[in-house]
Amino acid sequence: MNTLTSEIEIIKSKTSKINEVDFENLSFGKTFSDHMLECHYKNGKWEAPKVVPYHPITLDPSAKIFHYGQSVFEGMKAYKDANDDIFLFRPLDNCKRLNISSKRLAIPELPESYFMEGLKALLKVDSDWIPKKDGSSLYIRPFVFASGNGFHASPADEYTFLIACAPSGSYFSGKVKVLIEEKYSRSANGGVGFAKAGGNYAGQFYPTQLAIEKGYQQVIWTDDNTHEYIEEAGAMNIFIRINDTLITGPTSDRILDGITRKSIIELAKAEGIPVEVRKITVHEVVAAAKNGSLKEMFGAGTAAVISPISGFGYHGEDFDLPELENTYASSLKKRITDIQTNKCDDPFGWRYKVE
């Protein structure tokens, strides 16, 4: 694979939009910083990445992204502490997962140095865009797509890698009510469910819209074969607390290897919380809700970190979760965000200082 042999070229924007932004009232992912990282794959290799002004992309109508969906992405965040130092959370895991996703979709893997050095250069240029307000961060979206042309059903010969950034407030506020899916599937064995492929999310929108029309905010995905096993919550991994034990499904062809997910598992074990990584059936969850042993359910992902679930629907029946004073969701979220924002020690080595 290519390695970066020179400094990242930086082309700065002539004007900045930053004074037009209300950093006290940021929506998630709707405002974008002044610059982005751009890198092209041509003639069998990745060209050197550049930091350039944020700009629209021009593509030919025959670009293969439009026809065959070769597109993968990542989600990350950058934080600033009280000393204006910049931190990332497990960025090498994002780089590794981007390449795992790319390989599954026949996209050329990106050199780690291009990803990391390019990201650091971008964050230094747009450091003023990283908000310091509690709950806010600079959301980072690295993505790769097929930019080569042609209607032939085959992998493209050219690709584009971009990193764009959006200063953002909290992704979710409050708890969500979810519907356990009994018909549609997010992914299947042998498929691309483990990859962060754009098409995975496109396929979720219609069943989720049906759930919203019934009064729920999200869908809990079950396995494609029997719909008996709990797998994910919306676009997030899912955790279920029965009595004092925290349970989450194992990763597979169908379940994303979430970075927040594995951080929660490791952190919970370190804090003495019993953790089980195993298959869990819908009927086990329903039975626990009926006998009072179901204490918590929550989604886990980069954007929201942890999103508590207040109740769920299944077979036309609704189940409310108890309102507890001290929840695993709140304590684990605080511990992770304190690590991310450099407010506490990091015994796991997850925090990455941008220098």
C-alpha torsion angle, residues 152, 156, 158, 160 (rounded to 10) = 120
Please give the distance of CA 50 from its chain centroid, rounded to a whole number: 24
Locate tokens 């030919």: which residue? 60
Calpha distance 152→68 (Å, rounded): 9
Calpha distance 95→340 (Å, rounded): 18
Average model confidence (pLDDT) across the chain: 96
pLDDT of residue 1: 52
pLDDT of residue 4: 77
pLDDT of residue 241: 98
Calpha distance 81→160 (Å, rounded): 32
pTM exceeding 0.85: yes
Three-point CA angle 242, 222, 265, nearest 5° = 45
Q: Is the pLDDT of residue 183 over 70?
A: yes
Q: Is the pLDDT of residue 175 over 90?
A: no
Mean pLDDT of 313-329: 96
**pLDDT band at residue 244 using 50, 70 and 90 as cut-offs:** very high
Strand 9-10 relative to strand 137-146, pairing = unpaired
| φ/ψ of residue 284, rounded to 5 | -65, -40
Question: Which residue, 94, 19, 7, is CA-closest to 49?
Answer: 7
pLDDT of residue 171: 76
| Helix 112-125 vs helix 91-104: crossing angle, to nearest 10 | 130
Question: Which residue, 241, 235, 240, is CA-closest to 221?
Answer: 235
Alpha-carbon torsion 178, 182, 186, 189, what sign?
Answer: positive
Task: Tally the C-alpha atoms within 13 A of residue 46's C-alpha that lie toward its C-beta.
Answer: 24
Please give the structure tokens belonging to residue 136. 């806010």
Q: Is residue 300 within 8 Å of 260, Cβ to Cβ? A: yes
Question: Exposed, middle or buried by CB within 10 Å (0-12, 13-18, 19+), for 316?
Answer: exposed
pLDDT of residue 236: 96
What is the per-residue pLDDT across 284-310, written as a single tens digit (0 to 9) for each?
999 999 999 999 999 999 999 999 999
Q: Please list, residue by residue across 170-202, b when 16 or more beta carbons sit within 10 angstroms of its beta carbon and e when fewer do.
A: ebbeebbbbbbbeebbbbeeebbbbbbbbbbee
What is the per-residue pLDDT across 73-131, written as a single tens digit (0 to 9) for each?
999 999 999 999 999 999 999 999 999 999 999 999 999 999 999 999 999 999 999 99
Q: Which residues contact 278 (CB under 8 A, 6 or more apart)?
A: 247, 249, 250
**pLDDT band at residue 281 using 50, 70 and 90 as cut-offs:** very high
Least confident of 1-10, 41-50, 145-154, 206-215: 1-10
pLDDT of residue 338: 97
Q: Residue 119's CB: how many other CB atoms inside 10 A?
A: 25
| φ/ψ of residue 232, rounded to 5 | -145, 165
Strand 305-314 relative to strand 176-180, pairing = parallel
The secondary element (H helix, E strand) that includes residue 287 is helix 282-291
What is the per-residue pLDDT across 49-65, written as a single tens digit (0 to 9) for each?
999 999 999 999 999 99
Give the DSSP letter of residue 181: -
Ordered domains of the chain (ranges, CATH): 9-168 (3.30.470.10), 176-340 (3.20.10.10)
Q: Is residue 36 within 8 Å of 165, Cβ to Cβ? A: yes
Q: Which residues contact 86 (CB under 8 A, 6 or more apart)?
A: 78, 79, 80, 123, 124, 127, 130, 353, 354
